[in-house]
Amino acid sequence: MVQANRRGSRWCASGIAWWIIHASAFACGADSAPAGFEGENDAHEEASDTDSADSEADVSIPDPAPGTVGGVCTVDEDCPAGTWCSTVSGFERCAPRLFEGDPHQMDFAFVPGGSFQQGTPDVTNEERAYTATLTRNYFVSRTELTQGQWQAATGGVNPSCFQNTSGTSCGSDDANDSGPVEQVDWYSAVAYVNWLSSQNGLQPCYSLSGCSDESSGWHDGEHDGCASATFEGPGCTGYRLLTESEWEHAARGGTTSTYYWGEAMDETTVAQHAWFSSNSGNRTQAVGQKLTNGYGLYDVCGNVQEWVWDWYSSSYPSGRATDHLGPSTGSSRGVRGGGSSASLLRSARRNSLDPTLRSSDLGLRVARTIP
């Protein structure tokens, strides 16, 4: 198990200032830690105990039997209850389908483990590339978590700013079920995926301590008083957040290019794949409207940023690392995705934020290790 203690102070960014925040280097993956956090991670840059500098470039991952969860399939009927045949070419697997038939149905896609180059080649900053190895296949929700899916878990509580479908000011009309949920702090995101595990008879992957209201305090996106979180590790088969390595591997969709669609960054091409400053109206937009990446995932760049498990470190491991989980403590959690301009939509772009932050451009995506 991996334990992490909370550090940092709570603050919130209102939706009215969404564009100011989303357009800034601070919210969209700065090349250095945000002001107030510089240097605080220097003592925590060593790889976690699960890393191995001598890991092999490739790893053999057992395949589940056809027709089982994670197994090869051709059509939905090949798969067990609660799953569907994710039909991305070359990756046809029985993947979870939660709340089937409900307006808030949640579909997952298969992402193969293995080795890849994480980061950016030929740089010396926090994106310095290394060989990351993931020893498990995993599922990733095809879209960012929506407001409707969050409300289905919280009895109608919606912390989001953009509850309307137009305009740049915060609203409260609950008319944007397909928009990404936002204004959710890291602890609330963890509490949500634990709830999802419990609802589906699976092992919760996290233990939170010190929270002022363990049962429902996270419903409003602000889980007060949480002091620490313990992660059972990527072998946990419940629902969870992605690690930073898993996120980048999934976002790349099997590519090694700057963007998951290639190298083109003209606005016409970018607008086919992502919501950003030129086409978003300076606000979030409904999920699942742009072209997917090679693993069938929507909005892995643009729209909202997404929390990941890792405490942020200003450097990656050197050489190679296996199932990297980041440092054991820190002051800010990793955030991936989002980006207001074409240059900030790169697959390798990194960011970090205080885990108690709630912002109108900050949400989550759900993952699960294949059992």
Domains for the chain: give ranges and CATH numbers.
2-61+112-369 (3.90.1580.10)
Residues 205, 325, 231, CA angle at the centre, nearest 5°?
A: 20
Residues 177, 182, 183, CA angle at the centre, nearest 5°?
A: 135
CA distance 17 to 241: 27
CA distance 209 to 191: 11
Token reading at 109: 């896609």
- Reference 335, options 109, 121, 14, 37; nearest CA is 37
In the block, tokens 């963890």 appear at 190
Which segments of the chain does DSSP mark as H helices, in order?
Answer: 18-23, 147-154, 186-199, 244-252, 267-273
Give all strands (DSSP E) within 103-169, no chain letters: 106-111, 114-118, 130-134, 138-141
Token reading at 347: 């697959």
DSSP string covering 318-356: SSEEES----S--SSEEEEEE-SSGGG--TT--EEE-TT
Token reading at 135: 């020893």
Tens digit of pLDDT per residue, the chain (371 long)? Answer: 665 554 444 444 544 444 444 444 333 333 333 333 223 333 333 333 344 333 334 789 999 999 999 999 999 999 999 999 998 989 999 999 999 999 899 999 999 999 999 999 999 899 999 999 999 999 999 999 999 999 999 999 999 999 999 999 999 888 999 999 999 999 999 999 999 999 999 999 999 999 987 677 999 999 988 989 999 999 999 999 999 999 999 999 999 999 999 999 999 999 999 999 899 999 999 999 999 999 999 999 999 999 999 999 999 999 999 999 999 999 999 999 998 888 899 999 999 999 999 999 999 999 999 98
CA distance 254 to 99: 29
